[in-house]
Structure 1
Amino acid sequence: MSSWKFYHNPNCSKSREALAFLETEAVDFKTVEYIKYPPSRDELRELIAQMTGPLSALVRTKDVEFTAAPFDVNSAEEVALRLSEKPHLMERPVLQGKGKAVVGRPLENIKELIKK
């Protein structure tokens, strides 16, 4: 079983960059195309509990859909609910593993996490 879970959007250049980095580093990870296969609310709760940095970093707050109907990005339960309903509002890429999770913006966040 993979030690890491990589939430990936192949249409995002930052996500593709992080994917290439993980492959180059020979990191054992499972790719989750979260737009096609949205994480459940429980999976998101687990991800949120492991997040390092502000919870708001997990939400695409500049997305038109978010600005039209904003929600409390500091509430773990609200973020889990909304992202389970609208996975495209999840910031990407995200790497989760070994009890931690980071948004890979900048890529250095992922680099630091895998080196720990």
Structure 2
Amino acid sequence: MIQIYHNSRCGKSRECLAFIEQTGKEFEIIMYLEQIPTFDELSEIINKLQIKPLELVRAKEKVWLVNYKNKTMSDAEIIQAMIDNPILIERPIVINKNQAVIARPLENIKTIL
């Protein structure tokens, strides 16, 4: 089943959800700001995305700029920072089985559907 890690306050995330709805495929919405992923879950998502944890961080968020920018951090520490502050997780993330994309731009979704 397709999963979307969604933030309803984000326009790009809403566009992504609308796109998935139009496919007619079954999907699950994960409101990641409320259903915060565990360390293992977020690590698995990062592995599926085939990126480094830092590439999933919203580096312009105030929380990042104030608390983490310019600090030397391990991958584990970056993942923990995203768990502690889920607003730092880039969105929307779409997962289909063992594949995942950050749907920015929206066309990225087509590569896994």
In the alignment, what sits opposite 1:48?
46
Q: 1:98-113 maps to which residues of 2 (within 5 A)?
A: 98-113=97-112
What root-mean-square deviation, in Å, do the aligned CA atoms of Structure 1 and Structure 2 show? 2.0
Structure 1 position 74, deviation (Å): 8.5
1:80 is aligned to 2:108: no
* Percent pairwise identity: 37
Structure 1 position 25, deviation (Å): 0.7
Please report the TM-score for the alignment, with normalisation by the length of structure 2. 0.87
Contact 1:66 1:89 in 2 (8 A): yes
Please report the TM-score for the alignment, with normalisation by the length of structure 1. 0.85
Q: Which runs of 5+ in 2 are unaligned?
A: none
1:56-103 deviations in whole A, cap 9, x for unaligned? 331100111101122679854233211111111111100112212111
SS of equivalent to 1:62 = coil
Q: 1:1-116 maps to which residues of 2 (within 5 A)?
A: 3-53=1-51, 55-70=53-68, 75-114=74-113
Q: Which moved more, 1:47-56 or 1:62-71?
A: 47-56
Contact 2:13 2:92 in 1 (8 A): yes
Instruction: Give distance in 1, aligned partners of 2:72 and 2:106.
Output: 22
1:24-61 deviations in whole A, cap 9, x for unaligned? 01122110001111111111011111114554331100
Q: Which runs of 5+ in 1 are unaligned?
A: none
SS of equivalent to 2:3 = strand
Q: Which amino acid aligns with 1:85?
A: D
